[in-house]
């Protein structure tokens, strides 16, 4: 007390209770999970809430490194088997419980089209490789519209477990080398963490710039965040303790305010377009480090004083379970409620997640850590772990089998219905007099067999591919049946050209064509730099350059080969391009598209441009139909909204080239007022962007008639 009076420094409050748990770290956990939960329920309200995961990574790096360092300094080694066994008992019980219950709930309440991804990701999650599966999906364009699985959030747990697997080995090797060469082990550990962290950060910046989607999930891009936490654990806070009382009082409070402010700023101002993790991750990581390094003491005006209150500490205590429980509720809620959740629904779901978190912590998480297999050898724990993983994988495999059976049953039902006059697009033909064209779907679901991307035995990789970076973008399809080919035809474009494959392939079979196919999802065919997709900026230079390079090579190849015909389509209404001129989209599209189309028609090729299908507006989707199965009209969109101008179609009209014809099938999706999600008992759309294969195939008679009519009007 005398010292405090002499220096004039108010006392520092300590946030370390008797059980040794730092309240400031529990507050960080509460903030981290709160950011993630709010971001998942209200992504537009807190677009950068995903930084909560980075806060968790820094905390894990700090706490695990501090624990391992203590063991090394006490005994000179780490008992690896005991360490891994503790991790298993700490994390696996609750994660397995939530994963299995989520799998069962999805099996009961979600449509079978969702089962495959959920089963695969549940198995990947229990094996702690979910992040790598999501990284692989992130570079697969056909997976971009996949609905989220119930365990998608387990990717961060996979990253942490991979960290836990390697980290004790790394620290032990560095410690033993320092001991052998009589070096200061802490200094060597700090050096090792700094070098590793710097290298990992450099990799993170590079991969974020070159492949942002993949960078988010891959473990090496996150290692530096764990290393940053480890640096604080190893270097300690002796520098802080050496400060004078008044300086320490001001510094700790200021650092804590600044740290929390940095986390808050990134959560509010970052969004999906932020190049993250990359350099942007420095802000929440540095903020977390400031809070940890300046604690556990702080002045009364520190934010830690308020964050030490019981409600905040409770959320921190259940943060692991809350992280596990909240996301399955986000995914399952629409199916359970039969509607898109309202704000009140979301508040109730968060309350339910908190309740489930409390129960699982009390009856699963804590007993798993303290009582499960108490006194057993680590080997017994590992056997139990392997058994639990095997059971979950068996359940996932069973779900895959069930999905296949459901898909086959729907396919057989579809075949039996396909001959009816009011099936699919046929119901749009007035001659068929279909009174219930927009009735409830006759088939229960849209499964993977309805995806536009599929293979057929007639198609093989071309020996002379169009090579763009590591992609080979040309397929040869022989639909002649052994006869002499009547024509050489190309199908080109993005995934919105691919959705026409099922009908184009049938045309090729009937006419005995050799078909060459070059498709690149998300890229306009005419070599344009795409800068936005459905209004969201896509600033990845790798994607932009890939589109430009493919379009240029495609145009040149077709011009050289002079095929008889080309079918082309593109998602012009959803892809914003930039030729550097600053002109309107219509003007840019016209110049680039007309140049490509004219180069093909100029060598005698007949070009057929397929007008793009109506937009779903994220409304006329299978998910909407599932929630409104008895009234699919609720999922219809106004024609004026669903059919905005198609710049490629407009280009054809303006060109007035006799060898370039527009095939417009909008009347097969829309009447004069609306565009529909279900027509003739079929789902019109496979996902939020692409038409379903069966529906496109049901349009075949109309496509044949309009194709033949257009071709008959062409010269030659």
Whats the size of the chain, residue-wise? 716
**Distance (Å, whole) CA 77 – CA 280:** 37
Lowest mean pLDDT among 439-453, 612-626, 692-706: 439-453
pLDDT single digits (tens) 634-661: 999 999 999 999 999 999 999 999 999 9
pLDDT band at residue 259, thresholds of 50, 70 and 90? very high
> What is the pLDDT at residue 48?
96
Per the CB < 8 A criterion, the answer to whether 76 and 244 are in contact is no
Q: What is the 3-state secondary structure (H, E, C) of 486-540?
A: CEEEEEEECHHHHCCHHHHHHHHHHHCEEEEEEECCCCCCCCCCEEEECCEECCC
* Mean pLDDT, residues 93-100: 96
Residue 1's pLDDT band (cuts 50, 70, 90): very low
Q: In which band, very low, low, confident or very high, does the pLDDT at 672 lie, cut at 50, 70 and 90?
A: very high
Candidate from 279-293, 395-409, 444-458, 688-702 with smallest mean pLDDT: 444-458
Q: What pLDDT was estimated at residue 14?
A: 54
**Residue % of the chain over a pLDDT of 90:** 73
- b (16+ CB within 10 A) / e for 127-139: ebbbbbbbbebbe
Dihedral, CA of residue 141, residue 144, residue 150 and residue 152, to nearest 10:
70
Residues 553-579 pLDDT 10s: 999 999 999 999 999 999 988 888 888
Nearest to 334 by CA among 660, 86, 556, 628: 628
If residue 173 lies in a helix (H) or strand (E), which one and from where to where? helix 155-180
On the 0-12 / 13-18 / 19+ scale of CB atoms within 10 A, 554 is: buried
Q: What is the dihedral of CA 374, 377, 379, 380, to 10 degrees?
A: -40
Residue of 138, 148, 710, 688 whose CA lies nearest to 452: 688
pLDDT for 6 equals: 39
Q: Which residues contact 254 (CB under 8 A, 6 or more apart)?
A: none
pLDDT band at 240 (very low <50, low <70, confident <90, very high): low
Strand partners for 518: 492
Per-residue pLDDT for 8 more than 60? no
pLDDT over 90 at 245, yes or no: no
Tokens 């140049």 belong to which residue?
A: 595
Looking at per-residue pLDDT, the higher value among 387 and 141 belongs to 387
Shortest CA distance to 87 belongs to which of 382, 392, 390? 382
Residues 6+ apart with CB under 8 A from 423: 417, 680, 681, 682, 698
181 three-class SS: coil
Predicted confidence (pLDDT) per residue in 578-625, tens digit: 888 889 988 999 999 999 999 999 999 999 999 999 999 989 999 899
Rounded CA separation 236/69 (Å): 11
Neighbours of 556 (CB within 10 A): 14
Residue 5 — pLDDT band, cuts 50, 70, 90? very low
| Mean residue pLDDT across the chain | 91
Average pLDDT over residues 374-396: 93
At residue 101, what are phi and psi to the nearest 5 degrees? -65, -35
Quick: pLDDT tens for 151-201. 999 999 999 999 999 999 999 999 999 888 888 888 999 999 999 999 999
């Amino acid at each position: 007390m005398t010292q405090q009076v002499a220096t004039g420094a108010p006392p520092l409050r300590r946030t370390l209770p008797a059980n040794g748990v730092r309240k400031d770290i529990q507050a960080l956990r509460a903030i981290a999970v709160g950011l993630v939960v709010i971001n998942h329920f209200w992504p537009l309200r807190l677009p950068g809430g995903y930084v909560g995961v980075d806060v968790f990574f820094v905390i894990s790096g700090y706490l695990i490194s501090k624990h391992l360092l203590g063991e090394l300094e006490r005994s000179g080694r780490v008992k690896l088997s005991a360490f891994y066994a503790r991790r298993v008992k700490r994390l696996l019980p609750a994660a397995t419980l939530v994963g299995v219950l989520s799998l069962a709930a999805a099996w009961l309440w979600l449509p079978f089209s969702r089962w495959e991804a959920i089963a695969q990701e549940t198995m990947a999650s229990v094996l702690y490789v979910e992040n790598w599966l999501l990284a692989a999906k992130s570079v697969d364009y056909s997976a971009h519209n996949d609905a989220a699985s119930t365990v998608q959030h387990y990717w961060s747990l996979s990253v942490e477990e991979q960290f836990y697997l390697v980290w004790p080995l790394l620290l032990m090797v560095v410690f033993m080398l320092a001991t052998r060469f009589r070096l200061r082990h802490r200094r060597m550990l700090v050096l090792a963490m700094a070098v590793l962290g710097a290298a990992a950060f450099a990799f993170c910046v590079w991969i974020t710039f070159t492949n942002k989607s993949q960078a988010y999930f891959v473990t090496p891009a996150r290692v530096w965040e764990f290393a940053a936490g480890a640096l604080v654990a190893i270097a300690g806070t002796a520098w802080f303790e050496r400060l004078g009382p008044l300086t320490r009082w001001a510094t700790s409070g200021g650092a804590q305010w600044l740290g929390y402010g940095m986390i808050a700023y990134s959560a509010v101002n970052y969004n999906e377009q932020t190049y993250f993790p990359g350099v942007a991750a420095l802000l929440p990581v540095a903020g977390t480090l400031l809070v940890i390094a300046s604690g556990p003491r702080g002045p009364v005006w520190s934010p830690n004083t308020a964050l030490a209150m019981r409600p905040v500490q409770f959320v921190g205590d259940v943060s692991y379970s809350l992280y596990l429980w909240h996301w399955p509720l986000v995914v399952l809620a629409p199916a359970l409620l039969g509607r898109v959740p309202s704000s009140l629904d979301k508040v109730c779901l968060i309350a339910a997640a908190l309740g489930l978190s409390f129960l699982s912590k009390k009856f699963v998480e804590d007993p798993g850590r303290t009582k499960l297999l108490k006194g057993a050898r680590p080997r017994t724990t590992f056997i139990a772990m392997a058994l639990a993983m095997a059971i979950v994988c068996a359940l996932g495999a069973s779900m895959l089998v069930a999905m296949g059976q459901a898909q086959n049953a729907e396919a057989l039902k579809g075949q039996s219905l396909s001959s009816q006059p009011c099936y699919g697009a046929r119901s749009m033909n007035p001659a068929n007099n279909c009174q219930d064209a927009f009735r409830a779907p006759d088939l229960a679901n849209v499964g993977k067999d309805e995806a536009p991307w599929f293979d057929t035995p007639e198609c093989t990789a071309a020996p002379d591919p169009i090579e763009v970076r590591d992609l080979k973008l040309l397929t040869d399809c022989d639909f002649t049946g052994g006869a002499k080919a009547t024509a050489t035809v190309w199908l080109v474009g993005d995934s919105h050209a691919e959705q026409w494959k099922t009908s184009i392939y049938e045309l090729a079979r009937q006419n005995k064509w050799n078909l060459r196919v070059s498709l690149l999802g998300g890229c306009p065919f005419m070599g344009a730099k795409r800068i936005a997709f459905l209004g969201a900026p896509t600033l990845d230079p790798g994607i932009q350059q890939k589109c430009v390079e493919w379009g240029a090579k495609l145009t040149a190849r077709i011009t050289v080969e002079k095929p008889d015909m080309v079918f082309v389509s593109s998602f012009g209404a959803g892809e914003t391009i930039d030729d550097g001129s600053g002109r309107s989209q219509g003007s840019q599209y016209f110049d680039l598209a007309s140049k490509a189309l004219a180069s093909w028609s100029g060598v005698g090729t007949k070009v057929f441009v397929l007008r793009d299908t109506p937009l779903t507006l994220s409304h006329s989707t299978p998910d909407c139909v599932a929630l409104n199965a008895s009234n699919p009209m609720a999922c219809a969109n106004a024609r004026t909204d669903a059919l905005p101008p198609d710049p490629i179609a407009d280009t054809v009209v303006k060109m007035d080239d006799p060898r370039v014809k527009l095939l417009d099938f909008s009347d097969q999706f829309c009447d004069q007022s609306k565009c529909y999600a279900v027509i003739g008992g079929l789902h019109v759309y496979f996902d939020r962007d692409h038409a379903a294969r069966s529906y496109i195939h049901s349009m075949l008679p109309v496509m044949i008639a309009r194709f033949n009519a257009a071709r008959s009007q062409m010269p030659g």
